[in-house]
Amino acid sequence: MTSAAEPPLPFFVYGTLRPGERYHRRFLRGRTLRERPALLHGALLYEGPGYPYAIAGNGTITGTLIEVHPTDHPELLAALDELEEYRGPGHPRNLYDRLVREVVVDGRRTRAWVYLAAPRLARELLAHGVAIPGGDWLSRPGRPAPPVPRTP
C-alpha cells in the first residue's frame, strides 16, 4: 500500500474528489493547502457506476491538482488508496492503480499521484465502456445541474 519512502506528491483528481463533489467533502475539505485546475494529457475518461475511470490513451482529462500539508499526506494517501481500492503496485485486486504522472497546472508540468483504472478494467473499458466526451467529469452529458443558490 503506502510507504514512508513515497514522496508527498500532490494528487490529480478528476471525478468525485474534485471540489464540490461528494468525496471532496468527505476526504479533502479542510485538509488542502491549495487546489488548482489542471490537465492530464495522455489519458481518457470513462463513465463508471457513479464515478469516472481514467485510463491511458490519446486524450486529455480536466481535473484539479490537490496539495496537502506534508504531515497530513501519509494518512490521506492511505484513505484515498482505500477509497480507490488500491492494494499496492500490480496487485491483482486493484480497481485503480496509483501512479505518478505529469500534469499541467498554470502552464507548467508537475508530478502528481493519479489513480488510473487497473489494466484488467482498462481493457474492459476500451472494449465496452462509455467515454466521457471532452474528458471533463463535471461537464459530461446528462450530469445533474448544480443547485441554484436561493435568494431571500
Per-residue pLDDT of the chain (152 residues; tens, 9 = 90+): 444 455 689 999 999 999 999 999 999 988 899 999 999 999 999 999 999 999 999 999 999 999 998 889 999 999 999 999 999 999 999 999 999 999 999 999 999 999 999 999 999 999 999 999 999 999 987 765 455 455 55
Q: How far apart are CA 38 and CA 106, in angstroms?
A: 7
Question: pTM for this structure?
Answer: 0.88
Q: How far apart are CA 65 and CA 9, in angstroms?
A: 10
Helix or strand holding residue 98 (H, E): strand 96-105
Please name which of 76, 91, 100, 92 lies closest in space to residue 27, comparing C-alpha atoms. 76
Active site residues: 84
